[in-house]
Structure 1
Amino acid sequence: MSKIPFNLLRNVRKSLFFGLIILLAISSIAYQQKDLFFRIKQSLEIFSEAFSLIVVEFVDKIDPLELMGTGLNAMFESLDPYTNYFDASSNEQAEILNRSNFSSIGIQVDIKENSAVVVRVIDGSPAQRSGIRTGDIILSIDGLSTETLVPEEIENLLMGEIGSKVTLTVETQNATIDQLRLSRAKFEPKSLGYAAYLNLSGQPVIELNMDTQELEYIDSSKTELNQGVAYLQINEFGLGVNTEFRQALQAMIEKSEPYGLILDLRGNPGGLLQESIQMLDFMVEPNITVAETKGRLDEYNTRYITREVPRYTGPLVVLIDQGSASASEILSGVVQDLDRGVVVGERSFGKGLVQIIKPLPYNNSMKFTISRYYIPSGRSIQSLEYTHDTNNTAFQRADDNVYKTKNGRVVHGGRGIEPDLQTNTELLSPFQLELLRLGLVGEFVQQLELPIAAIIDDELIQVMTKRFMDNFEPTRLQIWNKMITLTDSLDYFLNDKNVLNANTKESILQINDHITELANDYLIEKHGEIEMVLGLELIRFYRGNQAWKRASLAIDPAVISGIQLLNELQDYYSIVQ
């Protein structure tokens, strides 16, 4: 009997070994799947029995549908803020609102750290005119707390008939609490909010007419057309905005020679991811994976790869703030990871989770998270990682990993997008916003009744500012109003206890007089800020939102920072290289 060659025997043993490993792995996966389905079946049986017992035998009468909704919402709450259940009535109400003559106040809200945070304020909307800005927290709507509401429920509460009123309690970024009463209005926000060629002072020279989509000269005497930058504001990534972006930028390049491009994504809550990817295609070299979605199921895993030869290869500045979320964070994050440009502003919102809506029986539905976004460095933009403790309660888990950009710069995951250059992104100061929230500037402007052909120039603005200040009582401002309220409360308390003598009364009056003097001095110090906000509101009221945007650019600190960076390319390249 012949012997089997040793090498053959060794190969057979090796093949058998690896085959056994593969068989064990397949068996393990099959067992895990079988175990998972058994546990699902087991859980449903337990839930069904408990649910039936409560509905039938509980001491008080229970509505099964209400109990089911409560149970599902409590279950989903333990996962993340974006997984929600919508019953049939919610779905029907949303459909009615979408198809009827209903309107809103012009904000978009998302949930962050259990608060309803404003992530977008639409230009020209009632919300913007009343001084609401990104980062403010909506505490209640018509007296109903937002603490347990999801974004879709908040949106439905904000909607209503044109001209109807809604009362908001708002916590501003400087921790003041304001109650605002706003009128709902109908408006159609544009995805491409504004496009212009700016001179080095931030003044538009060529502007895209948003109605005709044609470029128009504003004032060709302000600068030569090779001494400025292209500026495009993307409000959201709606369908077709990529085409609008490309056409506007290409048209400006053909008419001028910009030093670079400023892409303004402040207050952009996201939208269609494919639109942002196609915009990257216009500016980034081909065959690069710019974004990925990763989930448990292969069907939810997607890679987004650039395909085109870039048409714009010049210097790029992207403006972001805490209202920049989702697709706008992906675009700015890709620019940062590839060292394609400089990101300027404030840290973004940090929403890197992907949701899907699926129908449930009887016209119910649910929205749940299926994957996370990742950008070229390998980091996730999600600012909150939700895991669970022993009580199955969601809590924050930080991403402490360090990632590297294409050129080796250090960036961090789990924090949204942190700007390369941090700067103030707010056009208006807290004082100016308070004037708007109190309705003082708006009321004054609307009562002027200026001729339609009136020229809104510096001279008119100065005259109107003096008139406004002459008729304005500064103790209406919150800081001084609180002081007056406290002294009045002291007066009332002492009088109620019969211990208010003449000397004490005189002292309280002197304190009030001193507060009034301080408030008047404060108002004089704020003369320049009043002149600025009053001038902008005069332009908005008599010339429209596009004229307001045109006037605001030269005093927008983030835009000026972007222009300075593109004008001093040595500083620009010191960041990206």
Structure 2
Amino acid sequence: MKNTKMMVVGFVSAVAVSLILSTSLFAKNTVAAPTEASVEASRLQSLAKFTKVLSIVEQYNVDGLTVDQLIDKSLQGMLSNLDAHSTYMDKKSYDNLKTQTDGEFGGLGITVGMRDNALTVIAPIEGTPADKAGIKAGDIILKINDKSTLSMTIDDAVSIMRGAPKTPIDLTIVRKGLADPLKIHIIRDIITVQSVYTRNISGNILYIRVTSFDKKVAADVKKAIKKYSGKSKGIILDLRNNPGGLLDQAVDLTDLFVDEGIIVSQKGRNKADDMTYKATKSNTITDLPLVVLVNEGSASASEIVSGALQDLKRAVIVGEKTFGKGSVQVVMPITETEGIKLTVARYYLPSGRTIQAVGVTPDIEVAAGEIKKHEKSFNIKEADLKEHLVSELEKSDGMIDVTEANATNKTVITPEQMNRDIQLKEGVDIIKALIIVKGK
């Protein structure tokens, strides 16, 4: 399929280059049906217009650009005007793509996208320089160093932000709720991402945080669920600030929780791009109550997982509306050193709804923030009495209860930590209610 597309791209380019020599001959020899002939005539007229403009610009433009440079700019303009994710990649951009897919690279650790024609942070990756510097999902990047991002493509922006480790960069951002732009200084570093973290809550709730969808996500989550099998009574899957990743991992992760039905489908202009991914009973490993946490930094693969689990009535979705990136891009080489990234299809959830520019709306919407507590000036608890009773929770075996855990213990999430994350606290309360209902 990809080879066919590459041939089509090459054919169009060849026609454009040889148009002046071949137009009259092509018109005389055509034997197509009338409707096809009119389409070809329109195509030739459009190509003739392009060639004429190209010739005029080459001859009179003040900067004296070469034909190759003008063609490259034309391709960049055409692809970038299709949608926010399609782009033409010259040698430098193509090399950057290869660097990114190799695994480790020097950068900031953020995923960006275009929202309302503005370069927007989809999410910072947990533990990276951008995350530590305070970059947040939804931040609009106005400047990279002193260069404005106005009319800058995503690939250009990424190329500038990526660089050698330990080198500095300044981002000027606009953040919702703040009157003035912020200038944030960041030191680049090697970006290596741990995608799956697990914690325990209240002794019987398994908390799974997925930061991105790399090639090991489904296997790591499966391993965590099996490890705590018999000890956990409910699961919280945290997909907040997860910018997405590999489609097959989103499908495989969802398949761990559902045993039948469509997980996601993709539909494009060409039938060959249409695909349907279904759950299989043999891959399902748990039917425990499930809550999924999302926010505006949850995009692409994260939206497929949360949206599918919502449509299939398998999980309660808690948090904020997701980013809304539901399109499929493929990379097609046009030479050995150049290529294009083209949107060829859109994702659709089991109910048939689209994610693109819409996102997933949580079942229970909860804004990010802390739980405010008012300390009482005077109170006495059972533990304050000289001969207090030993709590039954302290006797429980199995996983460590959070009431016993030190705040520095990384195997658990404490009540104090939950109080600083109201979305997580709401998710825990819902899971506890679902556990009670299931136990009846």
Find the counterpart in structure 1 of residue 431 from structure 2.
566
User: Aligned partners of 1:129, 1:548: CA distance in 2, in Å?
Assistant: 22
Decide whether aligned partners of structure 1 residues 101 and 131 sit closer, same or farther in structure 2, where only a CA change above 3 A counts.
closer
Alignment check: 8 A CA contact 1:291 1:330 kept: yes
Alpha-carbon offset, residue 320 of structure 1: 0.4
User: Aligned partners of 1:95, 1:113: CA distance in 2, in Å?
Assistant: 28
Alignment check: 8 A CA contact 1:267 1:322 kept: yes
Alpha-carbon offset, residue 76 of structure 1: 2.9
Report the AA paired with residue 150 of structure 2.
E
User: Aligned partners of 1:177, 1:428: CA distance in 2, in Å?
Assistant: 28
Alignment check: 8 A CA contact 2:165 2:189 kept: yes
Decide whether aligned partners of structure 1 residues 344 and 64 sit closer, same or farther in structure 2, where only a CA change above 3 A counts.
same
Report the AA paired with residue 289 of structure 1.
I
User: Aligned partners of 1:555, 1:335: CA distance in 2, in Å?
Assistant: 27
Decide whether aligned partners of structure 1 residues 174 and 368 sit closer, same or farther in structure 2, where only a CA change above 3 A counts.
same
User: Aligned partners of 1:380, 1:129: CA distance in 2, in Å?
Assistant: 34
> What's the TM-score once normalised by structure 1's chain length?
0.59
User: Aligned partners of 2:258, 2:99: CA distance in 1, in Å?
Assistant: 42
Alignment check: 8 A CA contact 1:231 1:262 kept: yes
Within the candidate set 211, 235, 251, 2:211 is matched to: 235
User: Aligned partners of 2:82, 2:112: CA distance in 1, in Å?
Assistant: 20
Alpha-carbon offset, residue 339 of structure 1: 1.3
Q: Deviations over 1:330-369 (max 9, x none)?
A: 1111111111111000000001111111122362221111
User: Aligned partners of 1:380, 1:34: CA distance in 2, in Å?
Assistant: 36
Alignment check: 8 A CA contact 2:303 2:324 kept: yes
Decide whether aligned partners of structure 1 residues 41 and 131 sit closer, same or farther in structure 2, where only a CA change above 3 A counts.
same
Alpha-carbon offset, residue 264 of structure 1: 0.4
Q: Does 1:319 align with 2:293?
A: yes
User: Aligned partners of 1:166, 1:323: CA distance in 2, in Å?
Assistant: 22
Q: Which has the larger radius of gyration?
A: 1
Paired residues for 1:174-253 under 5 Å: 174-175=177-178, 176-192=180-196, 194-199=197-202, 225=203, 228-253=204-229
Q: Deviations over 1:83-139 (max 9, x none)?
A: 211222332455567779851122111111111111121222222222211111111
Decide whether aligned partners of structure 1 residues 308 and 59 sit closer, same or farther in structure 2, where only a CA change above 3 A counts.
same
Alpha-carbon offset, residue 75 of structure 1: 2.6
Alpha-carbon offset, residue 548 of structure 1: 11
Paired residues for 1:487-566 under 5 Å: 552-553=417-418, 555-566=420-431
User: Aligned partners of 1:345, 1:102: CA distance in 2, in Å?
Assistant: 32
Within the candidate set 250, 254, 264, 1:291 is matched to: 264
User: Aligned partners of 1:265, 1:31: CA distance in 2, in Å?
Assistant: 54
Find the counterpart in structure 2 of residue 370 from structure 1.
344
Q: Which runs of 5+ in 1 are unaligned?
A: 1-28, 200-224, 384-414, 430-538
Paired residues for 1:380-459 under 5 Å: 380-383=354-357, 415-426=358-369
Decide whether aligned partners of structure 1 residues 126 and 31 sit closer, same or farther in structure 2, where only a CA change above 3 A counts.
same
User: Aligned partners of 2:152, 2:314: CA distance in 1, in Å?
Assistant: 39
- Partner-residue secondary structure (3-state), 1:567: helix
User: Aligned partners of 1:307, 1:31: CA distance in 2, in Å?
Assistant: 49
Find the counterpart in structure 2 of residue 276 from structure 1.
250
Alpha-carbon offset, residue 240 of structure 1: 1.7
Within the candidate set 136, 139, 145, 1:136 is matched to: 139
Decide whether aligned partners of structure 1 residues 253 and 553 sit closer, same or farther in structure 2, where only a CA change above 3 A counts.
farther
Report the AA paired with residue 73 of structure 1.
Q
Q: Give the number of the structure whose residues are more often helix, by fraction.
A: 1
Q: Does 1:264 align with 2:264?
A: no
Identity of counterpart residues, as a percentage? Answer: 30
Alignment check: 8 A CA contact 1:121 1:267 kept: yes
- Partner-residue secondary structure (3-state), 2:304: helix
Decide whether aligned partners of structure 1 residues 108 and 30 sit closer, same or farther in structure 2, where only a CA change above 3 A counts.
farther
User: Aligned partners of 2:371, 2:93: CA distance in 1, in Å?
Assistant: 37
Paired residues for 1:83-94 under 5 Å: 83-92=86-95, 94=97
User: Aligned partners of 1:553, 1:31: CA distance in 2, in Å?
Assistant: 69
Within the candidate set 305, 321, 328, 2:278 is matched to: 305
Alpha-carbon offset, residue 56 of structure 1: 3.6
> What's the TM-score once normalised by structure 2's chain length?
0.76
Alignment check: 8 A CA contact 2:322 2:359 kept: yes
Q: Deviations over 1:227-255 (max 9, x none)?
A: x311101111110210110110111123x
Decide whether aligned partners of structure 1 residues 133 and 571 sit closer, same or farther in structure 2, where only a CA change above 3 A counts.
farther
User: Aligned partners of 1:144, 1:368: CA distance in 2, in Å?
Assistant: 27
Decide whether aligned partners of structure 1 residues 99 and 568 sit closer, same or farther in structure 2, where only a CA change above 3 A counts.
closer
Report the AA paired with residue 280 of structure 2.
R
Within the candidate set 312, 315, 319, 1:345 is matched to: 319
Paired residues for 1:135-174 under 5 Å: 135-174=138-177
User: Aligned partners of 1:117, 1:417: CA distance in 2, in Å?
Assistant: 18
Alpha-carbon offset, residue 552 of structure 1: 4.1
Alpha-carbon offset, residue 273 of structure 1: 1.0
User: Aligned partners of 1:564, 1:281: CA distance in 2, in Å?
Assistant: 25
User: Aligned partners of 1:369, 1:184: CA distance in 2, in Å?
Assistant: 30
Q: Deviations over 1:364-414 (max 9, x none)?
A: 22111111111111110111xxxxxxxxxxxxxxxxxxxxxxxxxxxxxxx
Question: How many residues in Structure 1 have an aligned counterpart in Structure 2?
Answer: 371
User: Aligned partners of 1:35, 1:363: CA distance in 2, in Å?
Assistant: 36
Q: Which runs of 5+ in 2 are unaligned?
A: 1-31, 373-405
Alignment check: 8 A CA contact 2:195 2:211 kept: yes
Report the AA paired with residue 422 of structure 1.
E
Q: Provide the aligned C-alpha RMSD in A.
A: 3.0
Report the AA paired with residue 312 of structure 1.
T
Find the counterpart in structure 1 of residue 401 from structure 2.
none
Q: Deviations over 1:136-158 (max 9, x none)?
A: 11111111112222222222211
